[in-house]
Chain A
């Protein structure tokens, strides 16, 4: 998958742990880990909405498209 979620970076910038984010969003740590490690196949808009709200960021700051990965 060429889309990368920079969840680790945003959590570090906001001084927040994965567990705290999980508690705030009501999503399990296991599911957030799937997002963090790039194993998730799709993300709901409601989840993206929750991430942006809790991490106080824009969707564009959370994710990036890796053109090199897409070519492979």
Chain B
């Protein structure tokens, strides 16, 4: 399979990146809009948010009424999660554009990869916050008592920072090649 051009791996990745990027912006917009609407129409939507959750201590489903404010907070929490993903995919798209242009080893891509690494750290930490909040809100419904460390995610973050250093060296070699007459 070709590396660049129509029918190549890069063309599929480009389409995937664009689709995910648009989907994230739509999700972010919907979450923010939803949170705003729930807060504005709070007096009218009090009994709408009823969840059927499986109580871990019992065998049957339990009906739990979720206050609109909590729903709005939950949506805002997810919106922050989506916003961080937007940052990650925006930087990834910029890196991909340099690849399509045939010149990926630019100094700017080092900063972009580092930003992706920092954003992924933020995502992990924020997911821990959301997990703890969910446990506080539904203590008997939420299996995880607190923070569940995902080693795969943290290893992936390490990989991203290592790749940033690889790109730094690549940018240096590129500059050397440019200034080799």
Cα separation A43 to B176 with both chains bound (whole Å): 10
Per the bound structure, the CA–CA distance linking A44 and B180 in Å amounts to 7
Nearest residue (CB) in A for B180 is: A42
Residues of B62-106 contacting chain A, CB below 8 A = none
How far does the alpha carbon of A40 sit from the alpha carbon of B179 in the complex, in Å?
5
Is A27's beta carbon under 8 Å from chain B?
yes
Among candidates B175, B176, B179, B181, residue contacting A27 with C-beta atoms closer than 8 Å: B181
Give A30's nearest chain B residue, CB to CB: B181
Q: Is A17 an interface residue (CB 8 A)?
A: no
Question: A39, B180: Cβ atoms under 8 Å?
Answer: no
Mark each residue of chain B from 145 to 181: 1 if its CB lies under 8 Å from any CB of chain A, else 0. Answer: 0000000000000000000000000000001100111
Q: Would you list which residues of chain B between 101 and 160 have a CB under 8 Å from chain A? A: none
A-B contacts counted at CB < 8 A amount to 23
Is A32 close to B, CB under 8 A?
A: yes
Interface residues in chain A, defined as those with a beta carbon under 8 Å from any beta carbon in chain B: 27, 31-32, 34-35, 39-44, 47
**A27: B residues at CB distance < 8 A:** 181
**7 more A-B contacts (CB under 8 A) besides A34-B181, A40-B180?**
A32-B181, A39-B179, A41-B176, A42-B176, A43-B180, A44-B181, A47-B181
CA distance A27 to B180 in the complex (A): 12
**Docked pose: A28 CA to B181 CA in angstroms:** 10
Residue among B175, B176, B179, B181 with most chain A CB within 10 A: B181
Chain A residues contacting B181 (CB-CB under 8 Å) are 27, 31-32, 34-35, 40, 42-44, 47
Residues on the A chain within 8 Å of B176, using CB:
41-42
Q: How far is the CA of A44 from the CA of B176 in the complex (A)?
A: 12
Q: Which partner residue on chain A sits nearest B178 by CB separation?
A: A41
Give the docked Cα–Cα distance between A33 and B30 (Å). Answer: 56
- Which B-chain residue is minimally distant from A51 (CB atoms)? B181
| Bound-state Cα–Cα, A42 to B180, Å | 4
- Complex Cα gap A32–B175 (Å): 17
Docked pose: A40 CA to B178 CA in angstroms = 9
Query: Which residues of A are found within 8 Å of B179, using beta-carbon distances?
Result: 34, 39-42
For A34, the chain B residues whose CB sits under 8 A away are: 179, 181
Alpha-carbon separation in the docked complex, A25 to B180 (Å):
15
Residues of B within 8 A of A47 (CB): 181
State in angstroms the CA–CA spacing of A47 and B176 once bound together.
Answer: 16
Distance, CA A31 to CA B179, complexed state (A)? 8
